[in-house]
Amino acid sequence: MSTRLPEGGRLLDRSQPLDFTFDGKRLHGLAGDTLASALLAEGQMLLGRSFKYHRPRGLVASGAEEPNALVGLGEGAFFEPNQRATVTELHDGLTAISQNRWPSLEADVGAVNSLLTRFLPAGFYYKTFLWPRAFWKHVYEPFIRASAGLGRPPKEPDGSTYEHFHAHADLVVIGGGVSGLATALAAAREGRQVLLMEQSAHWGGRAVVDAPEIDGMPAETWVKNAIEELGNAPNVRMRLRCMGAGLYDHGYLLAYERLTDHAPGTPGPRHRLWRIRAAETRLATGALERPLSFAGNDVPGVMLASAMRDYLVNWAISPGDRTVVVTNNDDAYRTALALHTAGLSVPVIVDARPEVTGALPKAARDAGIRVEPGRAIVKVEGGKRVTGVEIGLQRGEGGALERIACEAVAMSGGWSPAVHLWSHSGGKLTWDEAGAMFRPDAARPPLGDKGQPIASVVGAANGHLGTGAALADAGLPLEAREPEEQPLAPVWIMPEGAGPALKRKMFLDYQNDVKVSDVQLAAREGYESVEHAKRYTTLGMATDQGKLSNINGLAVLSGALNAAIPATGTTTFRPPYTPISMGSIAGAARGPLFQPIRQTPIHGWHAAHGAIWEPVGQWRRPYAYLQPGEDRHAAVTREVKAVRQSLGLLDASTLGKIIVKGPDAGRFLDMIYTGKPSTIPVGKCRYGLVCNENGFLIDDGVAARLSEDTWLCHTTTGGAESIHGHMEDWLQCEWWDWQVYTANVTEAWAQVAVVGPKAREVLETLGGMDVSKEALPFMGWAEGELAGIPARIFRISFSGELSYEVAVPAARGLELWETLVEAGAPHGVTPYGTEAMHVLRAEKGYVMIGEETDGTVIPQDLNLGWAISKKKDDYIGKRAQERSHMAGADRWRLVGLEAEDGSTLPEGAYILADGDNANGQRNTQGRVTSTYHSPTFGRGIAMALLHRGPERMGETVEVTNGAGGAIRARVCDTVLYDPQGERLNG
């Protein structure tokens, strides 16, 4: 059983006990503990169950690479699954629950999967669930979902807040171990602006645990001095608990700062996502120790040797009375010596190398520790906890020479540089034969916009594992006193000749339950590419991203393929380095700030008068105004009737308004529109269509000529920005020598449509402008002061009724609206929303961009040929519209539809044709584009695109009813209301 030793623990504050719970059990830790160390101190070695086989799992590592100890943290709105116990700083009242077990950690039903490992090999899902197809949805998936998966998703909205922060940096140093500190010191002394970050809560990295002597002082003292110097430098910024998460093209760097995870309840954001533009990034990200692949290497109690040393030195944890050390290198002897010094027993050091002669082994032997060269752990005994190991020959097939009882195993398979960020941004790796590791290839760095390197790597991350070598590599050559180390021996399978039974218990990827046998099977089945083998077996997927499993896995694959490791290559490391919270990605963009809601100057009035909203782009427009007791259908009916019978008001402020001015403005607009705006007289308006270069209709609206060289172009609400962009695109890229300026002044104006038979009367009561039939005829406009407000009045109509659109400076929009509401009261003035607007225009047969058009419709399809000038040589879209298929009659074209039973046809319904297509689907000959219940006619009305539609007036067609049946409808004219247009003049 693991326990806390009475002395030691360099990070502990023994005067500050902390209470926490694990699976509801009350436990005690100390200030300075991580959740992992506190659990070990309480003897809790079993922390979870594995993903696939539900094998009992305990801590393997002490840092970000931990694959097993994933827990759910917090409660309610602050619950978060899949958190690593090793990087979770303990705080008072912390609550943690284990994952992937049912009904409990100790008695897990899913563990039966473990007995079935022979039937759950690599590619099992692919092989088994191909057939029958229906079984996947109804049988396999529910079963897998119930028994697999990691943490449960939170049930409540996240109670914490998050933020982004943008920074621009000269030099960012990632990693606060001695290499990172040395790099930062050297750069700071040269006067560079440095941002230094460290993912954990402490500076110093491994050196403070392994304790070499640096520059004549203990590592801990050197680190303390370095922090002080950097802290006092005005050109250095330092961040703890801040992880370099991803390095991208051109030096874009994402860093993830955890601000209050260690102190919940502190005001302010929980996480901060740094979005950094770095001229140069130096990676001092250190190295990760590799496991060894022996049978039972996943039994709780088997740990990385360095992690065991961390727990002992930092947190005074005894992993158990007796620890067997197994290694292929000298570094692991440090763990044996540390355990021995702490008064714990190391029965044997099992070293796979045939000869062991280094300084550290000598120190171990001098301390009386038994060292066994050329040996291997054949298998680990124990289920939920290590009880002993069988030892045999590394060269052998697994015959046990000896059994040794122990409570823990410390393993070391060598070290792999943490090259993740280098690889994220495209840096290449090279295989270091002597160190048996991939290290960054300085000749092939990630490049910036000018082809310059954007990142470099220093220290252990660059393959310099010794302290002295790392410091020199970081640009601060200082004397370091540390024992000389002998080379490691690459060991990928232990023992070398192990048979299938042992290989099935040798875990390469703990998190994804991938074993040596799985990778070898993948190779036998033809998955020779490391990327294919990764996906087939799931090796190194998900949060691991190759941290523990990568090198061992691809070495086993290379062995199976009889290829050299560099020929097999490595899989791609993908950002983030370790998972970052979804909240940090969202930042402030949640709740009311999720996205900007554009509001007109009259928005507040609408809200106060029962408006229900329709999103139009980022605008919110009133869909209808509900009066007490009304549903939306009743409100729309009332609004439509009021407009037809008396007076309605529509907030049309969102309509796009683009000023086009210049000597070439007329010529330019003749190209933008299908018609000829250049011939509009000053004081008049004209309806126009805008097409793209493929001929398709993209916008429509009324253009008014303001003066000899100035036009005001109205666009649809959604088209303001895109049509302005379209105009600028053509002006800047194609006709750059034309003298035209444009300005999108949509938001400078509030615009109110005053609509209905009483429209003129109410404007006359306001006074100030002559709005008579003679002074302001249909499609005319005038400027003046209406009710004391500067105004432009346009005589245009989108309803078929007498209608004026009054534009006033936006700041006075509400004043105009309220004046109209008051003046219109005797006529029962009725504000109406977008739905009534739609019904009114559909009754009149006016088309709507986005309803009658969908990006594949040309004006001719909508019978709008009259709006296309025949006199012009060219306009955008003209040539496309002359292509044979566009110009032919064999197209779906606009008609009206009237259901025989008077009902309202379903939105988007298809018009059926005879027979089936090649896929066995019913043939179609058109579709409904707009459909409404018309209060004016007391029945459903619709517009539709129908094959050769206008030639088929009076015909009866069948329209899908959305339930497998059909509705019979008659083809009719689109203009149902006032076909002669008499009402437009009031």
Partner 1 sequence: MAETSVFEVPGAMVLLRGDHEAIGEAAAHVAGLPMPETRQITGGAERALAWMSPDEILILAAEGAGPGMARALGEKLTGVHHLALDVSDMRVRLRVTGPYVREVLAKLSPADLAPGALPEGEFRRSRLGQVPAAFWVSGPDSFDVICFRSVAGYLRELLEHSAAAGPVGHF
Residues at the interface with partner 1 (CB under 8 A): 161, 163-168, 237, 267-269, 272, 275, 277, 587-589, 592-593, 595-601, 618-619, 659, 661-663, 739, 741-743, 745, 747-749, 809-811
Structure tokens at 751: 């615009």
414 vs 601, beta carbon nearer partner 1: 601
Question: Which is it for strands 236-239 and 194-197: parallel, antiparallel or unpaired?
Answer: parallel
Whole-number minimum distance, CB 267 to partner 1, in Å? 7
Q: Which two tokens stand for residue 973?
A: 């004219």
Amino acid identity at 293 = S
CB of 786 to partner 1, least distance (A): 16
What is the spatial distance between Cα 550 and Cα 508, in angstroms, rounded to a whole number?
Answer: 8
Sequence-distant (6+) residues with CB within 8 A of 839 are 636, 640, 932, 933, 934, 935
* Residue 170 CB coordination number (10 Å): 14
CB 617 to partner 1: min, Å: 10
Question: Would you give the distance in Å from CA 264 to the centre of its chain?
Answer: 25
Residue number with CB closer to partner 1 (111 or 706): 706
Query: Looking at beta carbons only, is 43 or 718 nearer to partner 1?
Result: 718
Residues 6+ apart with CB under 8 A from 139: none
461: region left, alpha or beta (phi > 0 left; psi from -120 to 50 alpha) = alpha
Closest approach of partner 1 to the CB of residue 593, in Å: 6
User: Measured from the CB atom, is 129 or 252 closer to partner 1?
Assistant: 252
DSSP-assigned letters across all residues of 848-868: -TTTT-SSS--GGGGT-GGGS
- Residue 928 CB, shortest distance to partner 1, in Å, is 33
Whose Cβ is closer to partner 1: residue 246's or residue 601's? 601
Question: Which residues, in sequence order, are bridge partners of residue 939?
Answer: 934
The encoded tokens of residue 1 equal 């059983």
Q: Which is nearer to partner 1, 739 or 765 (CB)?
A: 739
Of 615 and 908, the one with the shorter C-beta distance to partner 1 is 615
Longest Cα–Cα distance in the chain: 114
Nearer to partner 1, 169 or 302 (CB): 169
Minimum CB separation of residue 164 from partner 1 in Å reads: 6
Instruction: State the nearest-atom distance from the C-beta of 818 to partner 1, in Å.
Output: 17
Secondary structure of 570-591 as H, E, C letters: CCCCCCCCCCCCHHHHHCCCCH
Report, in Å, the least distance between residue 257 CB and partner 1: 9
- Nearest distance from residue 775's CB to partner 1, in Å? 24
Residues ≥6 apart with Cβ < 8 Å to 138: none
Residue closer to partner 1, measured from CB, 161 or 221: 161
Smallest distance from partner 1 to CB 24, Å: 34
Name the residue nearer to partner 1 (CB basis): 275 or 641. 275
CA 37/CA 44 separation, integer angstroms: 10
Tell me how far, at minimum, the Cβ of 60 lies from partner 1, in Å.
35
Q: Distance (Å, rounded) from C-alpha 43 to C-alpha 37?
A: 10
List own/partner pairs for 424-432 with CB under 8 A and 24 or more apart. 424/246, 424/247, 424/248, 424/573, 424/574, 424/575, 425/247, 425/248, 425/249, 425/251, 425/454, 425/455, 426/249, 427/455, 427/457, 429/570, 430/566, 431/564, 431/565, 431/566, 432/463
Contact of 497 with 513, CB cutoff 8 Å: no
DSSP assignment of 728-779 equals: HHIIIII-TTS--EEEE-GGGEEEEEEESTTHHHHHHHH-SS--STTTS-TT
Burial of 357 (0-12, 13-18, 19+ CB in 10 A): exposed
Parallel/antiparallel/unpaired status of strands 302-304 and 956-960: unpaired
Pick 592 or 938: Cβ nearer partner 1: 592
User: Which C-beta is closer to partner 1: that of 161 or that of 430?
Assistant: 161
For residue 616, the minimal CB distance to partner 1 (Å) is 12
Could you tell me which of 183, 199, 193 has the C-alpha nearest to residue 278? 193
Shortest distance in whole angstroms from residue 811 CB to partner 1: 5
Q: Which is nearer to partner 1, 270 or 420 (CB)?
A: 270
Contact 223, 179 (CB under 8 A): no
Look at strands 317-318 and 402-405 and give their pairing: unpaired
Q: What is the side-by-side order of every strand in the sheet holding 349-351?
A: 302-304, 408-412, 323-327, 349-351, 371-373
What is the Cα–Cα distance from 523 to 359, expressed in whole angstroms? 40
Name the 3-class secondary structure at 925: strand
Rg (CA), the chain: 38
**Beta carbon of residue 654, minimum distance to partner 1 (angstroms, whole number):** 8
Q: What minimum distance in Å lies between the beta carbon of 578 and partner 1?
A: 22
The closest alpha carbon to 97, from 85, 109, 111, belongs to: 85
Q: How far is the CB of 658 from partner 1 (least distance, A)?
A: 11
β-pairing verdict for 619-625 and 611-616: antiparallel
**φ and ψ at residue 250, rounded to 5 degrees:** 60, 25
Cβ 233 to partner 1 shortest distance, Å: 15
Residue 154: partners with Cβ closer than 8 Å, 6 or more residues away: 77, 79, 80, 81
Residues 6+ apart with CB under 8 A from 156: 76, 77, 79
- The residue (of 604 and 855) whose beta carbon lies closer to partner 1 is 604
Q: Closest CB to partner 1 among 135 and 741?
A: 741
Closest to partner 1 by CB, 442 or 593 = 593
Q: How far is the CB of 742 from partner 1 (least distance, A)?
A: 8
Quick one: 454 or 471, whose CB is closer to partner 1? 454
| 590 versus 632: smaller Cβ distance to partner 1 | 590
Edge to edge, the sheet with strand 217-218 lists: 217-218, 213-214, 480-481
CA distance between the termini of the chain: 94
